[in-house]
Amino acid sequence: MDYVKLINCMRCGMCLPVCPTYKETFLETASPRGRVALIRKLQEGSLDQSEQLLEYLSLCLDCQACASACPCGVNAGELVADFTCERKSEKGLSFMEELILRKLVPHPDLLESSMMPMRAYQNSGLQKLVRTLGILKMFPRSLQRMEGLLPPLPSTPLRQEILESTPAVGEERGIVGFFLGCVMSLIFSDASRATVKLLSSLGYRVITPKNQVCCGAPNMLGGDLEGLKGGARINIGIFNAFKPDYIITDCGGCGAELKKYSHHIDGEDAAQFSSRVRDISEILSMHCEELLVKLKPVDQIVTYHDPCHIAHCQGIRSEPRKLLKLIPELQYRELDSADACCGSAGTYNIERAEMSDRILQRKLDTLRDSGAELLVTSNPGCLLQLRKGLSEQLPDIKIMHLTELLFTSINQ
Amino acid sequence: MEKSFISGLRKIVGDEYTLTDRESLAVYGYDSTPELESLPEVVLLPKNSAEVSDIMRLCHGAGISVTPRGSGTNLSGGSISTGGVVLQTSRMNRIVEIDEENLTATVEPGVITSVLHREVESRGLFYPPDPGSMNISTIGGNVAENSGGLRGLKYGVTADYVMGLETVLADGELLRTGGKVVKDVAGYSLNPLLVSSEGTLGLFTSITVKLIPKPKGKITMLAHFPAMSDAALAVSAIIAAKVIPATLEFLDRVTIKCVEDYAHVGLPLDVDAVLLIEVDGHPVVIAEEAASVAEICKKYHCSFFQTAKDAAEALKLATARRTALSALARLKPTTILEDATVPRSCIAAMLQVIQNSARKHNVTIGTFGHAGDGNLHPTCLTDERDKDEIARAHAAFAEIFDAAISMGGTITGEHGVGLAKKRYLPKLVGESGIKIMRGIKQAFDPKEILNPGKVF
């Protein structure tokens, strides 16, 4: 790791008040400034790679709120992730990591069929039975949490049913590639279907290559940089081949990762790919006037949660708000600490359940205070986490992906 | 430190908040001061005044030193321990009371400054001290350091707002000073002594501050000056015209270039100074004041003047000042931020000294700060790995502090003496000053266990 990146931290502490784990613990070891110091001391040799040190670092959600707050451009979240990657590349992946990250994640077909038992479980009535009888209590806690997080799954993943080329409605103004997020396609297929329809209704031909693979975010989470690069090269080849004007995603996590391909992979191809990537809100907000004509009233109090991967990693904050405010009669309420993490953070809510719950609770408290009837966000991890939280504590607040709401407003 | 002693501390604050692992100690060895680091032996995060008292009683008995720490944003090494206990106040973070009849707020020391701002402002009240670190600094730390901020010129500094303190003394006894009364001449005034004592006289466990009504309106203005001397004259003329702006901030040429390179806010690179001016108060009054400010700036040859039409534009005008530190800090790994302060009338002369010293010692120093109250932030951009450059930076600062003293100013306007400015203090206060301070320290803390080694 580049030592200069570590000593760039001037320890001003501006990252502390925005760090979800510092807010919960007040511990310097659970702060971005502390994490940078730990990695620095490790590199300088005054600390060893102890279990305790790794444990402290693993509390980081990589939400990168610290990067948004840092006056000198240090990204503590990314430094921790890079450190984890470097460590993994020395140590190698575990059997399970190898299985999931190398054998499952890069192959959409396998990934989709791995979800079939879950779908069967939900549809057969078995889920209801299991929940009623409390059988889950007999399983490890992580499994219980996974079960609780999953909403009803769509009957088929979007990737299997979507057209490879969706024609533009009316005159074609351009061609966009649609990057299907794994979780969006598997779980939130309605939102992604809405995304594609919105794009085509604005005059874009939408190409959705079926052979695209996972963006690689799970690999980064597991510290598997090589795995990420493998998938990235496949995606770069597929999308660059048809030279889209933009590569669109409606998943914040994918967007952040795709925009970083050019950091991980040298060369013109990766640079070209990353420069074309846009979050759906970026492209939609370029067409506000056209949307305004189509949008019909939604008489609801609506608020927006900034996904970390959109606000902190991609710097997108005004676009989703601008789009929401276009909808007639919609009363927009700004959420307090809207860009604070919800505690989802990849698999964090399963691996660090206790901390994740505390962070989620803060978010739910602000949601309660907001008076909103509908929560809008635009990242599947946040959708899963907040959906679960709301259903348990605030069942009157509904939750939707941004494109779902826009599509509903147009087509009601 | 003996194990039995640590287990005694554990009994007071609990296992979870008694930190002794190597990793924790390593990250409590620093604060925001560059170059300084020294590890504590144990870190404690007590929850209330009773726990703080118990800790002090135990440490007093064993002669173990205690260094208080809020969020560790000190810029003079004041929260760096020299072994012993680091006592972090963050968990004592309750706003105990906002008294709208007496216009006071009573808080625990770990309350974050900007949290108090938000809370009182939601009730139409105002707590003016706004140090640069207000989003994370604690009120306890602000009181211990007598923090200033951008609004110092018009509204004063932390000391001007402290009305009452509850302080745990070195032996664990509780001292209550002041309260909610505006007038109180019973005995020595101990509050001003405790404010800015940098953790060397006692540990605050409850702080009552004065609140004032929130100003109804604010007008933000920005002016560019081709010549620093004109900018300085304009500052003096604004004050002479009986206008006291809430904010009167400036950036020098080096800082302007850094800000423009980094934030592209449209600053010209051929001017010596940019002034950010804000007047606040009753809308009718501030409209008049803003008109005088505009007139004065034009009279002193500003090359550009803009008045913000709305809040969004005000935010835009303030961007240059707000990003000054970021822009400077990004240039080099190490940023030494100082706070030499001179009488307002000496600002132009002081800036000349800073520029000369930077040139002489071949270091880059950008200066920004509070033109209205003479509190400058000469900021040296360097690299801690370059020992030679660091030595030259310190040589330049030594000259700058000497000049500040000779102009009737001070070595530190708002960061405190701590460890970093210790060697300069005798020059400023003289032998008698140090002797009196030592006497006071003796009276409060004869065993010298409270933040030892700081200030003098």
Final residue in a domain of this structure, among B213, B240, B273 = B213
Shared domain for B99 and B209, answered yes or no, is: yes
CA distance, residue A309 to nearest chain B CA (Å): 23
Shared domain for B352 and B392, answered yes or no, is: yes
Final residue in a domain of this structure, among B279, B298, B323 = B323
List per-residue pLDDT tens for chain B, 456 residues long. 889 999 999 999 999 999 999 999 999 999 999 999 999 999 999 999 999 999 999 999 999 999 999 999 999 999 999 899 999 999 999 999 999 999 999 999 999 999 999 999 999 999 999 998 999 999 999 999 999 988 999 999 999 999 999 999 999 999 999 999 999 999 999 999 999 999 999 999 999 999 999 999 999 999 999 998 899 999 989 999 999 999 999 999 999 998 888 888 888 889 999 999 999 999 999 999 999 999 999 999 999 999 999 988 898 888 888 888 888 888 899 999 999 999 988 998 999 999 999 999 999 999 999 988 999 999 999 999 999 999 999 999 999 999 999 999 999 999 999 999 999 999 999 999 999 999 999 999 999 999 999 999
Provide the CATH number for the domain around residue B30. 3.30.43.10
Tell me the C-alpha to C-alpha distance, in Å, between residue A296 and each of A143, A282, A408.
42, 21, 9
Shared domain for B52 and B108, answered yes or no, is: no
CB < 8 Å to A38, chain B: 23, 26-27
Shared domain for B120 and B162, answered yes or no, is: yes
- The answer to whether residue B128 is domain-embedded is yes
Query: Which position has the token pair 């005044």?
Result: B49
Q: Which amino acid is at B254?
A: V
Q: What is the pLDDT of residue A139?
A: 60
Smallest Cβ–Cβ distance between A4 and the set B24, B333, B335 belongs to B333
CB < 8 Å to B133, chain A: 12-14
Q: Which of B253, B244, B313, B324 is nearest to B277 (CA)?
A: B244
CA distance, residue A99 to nearest chain B CA (Å): 33
Nearest CA in chain A to B30: A11
Tell me the C-alpha to C-alpha distance, in Å, between residue B220 and each of A49, B300, B318.
51, 19, 8
pTM above 0.90, yes or no: yes
Residue A136 has pLDDT above 60, yes or no: no
Boundaries of domain holding B299: 217-323
B384 touches chain A (CB under 8 A): yes
Lowest mean pLDDT, pick from A103-117, A310-324, B66-80, B345-359: A103-117
B45 touches chain A (CB under 8 A): yes
B319 touches chain A (CB under 8 A): no
Please tell me the total number of residues recorded for chain A in this structure. 412
Shared domain for B313 and B287, answered yes or no, is: yes
Collapsing DSSP states into helix, strand and coil, what is residue B410? strand
Q: What's the rounded mean pLDDT across residues A135-151?
A: 66
- The answer to whether residue B16 is domain-embedded is yes
CA distance, residue A235 to nearest chain B CA (Å): 33
CB < 8 Å to B88, chain A: 26
Give the DSSP per-residue string, A244-284.
-SEEEES-HHHHHHHHTHHHHS-SHHHHHHHHHEEEHHHHH
Q: Distance between CA atoms of A308 and A340, rounded to whole angstroms?
A: 7
- Tokens standing for residue B96: 């105990």
Shared domain for B99 and B206, answered yes or no, is: yes
Nearest CA in chain B to A23: B90
Domains of chain A: 3-91 (1.10.1060.10), 95-149 (no CATH), 158-284 (3.40.50.1860), 295-411 (3.40.50)
Give the DSSP per-residue string, A39-85.
HHHHHHTSS---HHHHHHHHT-----HHHHH-TT---HHHHHHHHHH
Query: Which position has the token pair 């932030």?
Result: B377
Residues of A with CB under 8 A from a CB of B: 4, 7-8, 10-14, 16-17, 26-29, 33-34, 37-38, 41, 46-47, 50, 52-53, 56, 71-73
**Helix, strand and coil percent figures for chain B, each rounded to 5:** 40, 20, 40
Q: Which amino acid is at A268?
A: E
Q: Distance between CA atoms of A164 and A246, rounded to whole angstroms?
A: 16
Provide the CATH number for the domain around residue B157. 3.30.465.10
Q: Which of B203, B208, B159, B212 is nearest to B179 (CA)?
A: B208
The number of C-beta contacts closer than 8 angstroms across A and B is: 84
Final residue in a domain of this structure, among B299, B323, B347 = B323
B200 touches chain A (CB under 8 A): no
Residue A13 has pLDDT above 90, yes or no: yes
Collapsing DSSP states into helix, strand and coil, what is residue B405? helix
Shared domain for B121 and B104, answered yes or no, is: yes
Query: Which position has the token pair 């990657």?
Result: A85
- Tokens standing for residue B82: 């020299």
Collapsing DSSP states into helix, strand and coil, what is residue B279? strand
Query: Which position has the token pair 């038992």?
Result: A117
Q: What is the pLDDT of residue B321?
A: 84
- The answer to whether residue B181 is domain-embedded is yes
Nearest CA in chain B to A7: B333
CA distance, residue B176 to nearest chain A CA (Å): 28
Shared domain for B106 and B208, answered yes or no, is: yes
Smallest Cβ–Cβ distance between B32 and the set A12, A26, A46 belongs to A12
CA distance, residue A158 to nearest chain B CA (Å): 42
Smallest Cβ–Cβ distance between A41 and the set B26, B329, B335 belongs to B26
Shared domain for B124 and B195, answered yes or no, is: yes
Provide the CATH number for the domain around residue B351. 3.30.70.2740
Smallest Cβ–Cβ distance between A12 and the set B73, B91, B384 belongs to B73
CA distance, residue A72 to nearest chain B CA (Å): 5
HSE, side-chain direction, 13 A CA sphere, residue A315: 4
pLDDT band at A116 (very low <50, low <70, confident <90, very high): low
CA distance, residue A259 to nearest chain B CA (Å): 22
Q: What is the pLDDT of residue A128?
A: 65
Q: What is the pLDDT of residue B36?
A: 94
Tell me the C-alpha to C-alpha distance, in Å, between residue B68 and each of B18, B39, B55.
14, 14, 12
In a mutational test of the A interface, the residue from B27, B43, B81, B368 whose CB has the highest number of chain A CBs within 10 Å is B27
Q: What is the pLDDT of residue A164?
A: 93
Smallest Cβ–Cβ distance between B26 and the set A13, A26, A47 belongs to A47
Number of domains, chain B: 4
Q: What is the pLDDT of residue A310?
A: 97
Q: Distance between CA atoms of A45 and A355, rounded to whole angstroms?
A: 30
- The answer to whether residue B449 is domain-embedded is no
- Tokens standing for residue B303: 């090359």
Q: What's the rounded mean pLDDT across residues A115-143?
A: 64
Q: Distance between CA atoms of A366 and A382, rounded to whole angstroms?
A: 15
Q: Which of A41, A388, A386, A384 is nearest to A181 (CA)?
A: A384
Percent of chain A with pLDDT over 70: 91
CA angle B273, B274, B276 (to 5 degrees): 145
Q: Which of B177, B174, B146, B145 is nearest to B163 (CA)?
A: B177
Helices then strands, each counted (H, E), chain A: 27, 9
CB < 8 Å to B22, chain A: 47, 50, 52
Element (H, E) at B294: helix B283-299
In a mutational test of the B interface, the residue from A72, A80, A355 whose CB has the highest number of chain B CBs within 10 Å is A72
Shared domain for B357 and B247, answered yes or no, is: no
Please tell me the total number of residues recorded for chain B in this structure. 456
Nearest CA in chain B to A55: B23
Shared domain for B242 and B153, answered yes or no, is: no
- The answer to whether residue B289 is domain-embedded is yes
CB < 8 Å to B34, chain A: 10-11
Shared domain for B198 and B304, answered yes or no, is: no
Q: Which of A256, A245, A381 is nearest to A315 (CA)?
A: A256
Q: What's the rounded mean pLDDT across residues A242-270?
A: 96
CA distance, residue B403 to nearest chain A CA (Å): 27
Paired sense of beta strands A246-249 and A277-279, if any: parallel
pLDDT band at A119 (very low <50, low <70, confident <90, very high): low
Residue A132 has pLDDT above 70, yes or no: no
Cβ-defined contact of A71 to B325 (cutoff 8 Å): yes
B13 touches chain A (CB under 8 A): no
Smallest Cβ–Cβ distance between A29 and the set B27, B330, B333 belongs to B27
In contact, B167 and B157? CB cutoff 8 Å: no
Q: Which amino acid is at B252?
A: D
- The answer to whether residue B345 is domain-embedded is yes
Q: What is the pLDDT of residue A100?
A: 73
HSE, side-chain direction, 13 A CA sphere, residue B293: 28
Smallest Cβ–Cβ distance between A52 and the set B21, B30, B384 belongs to B21
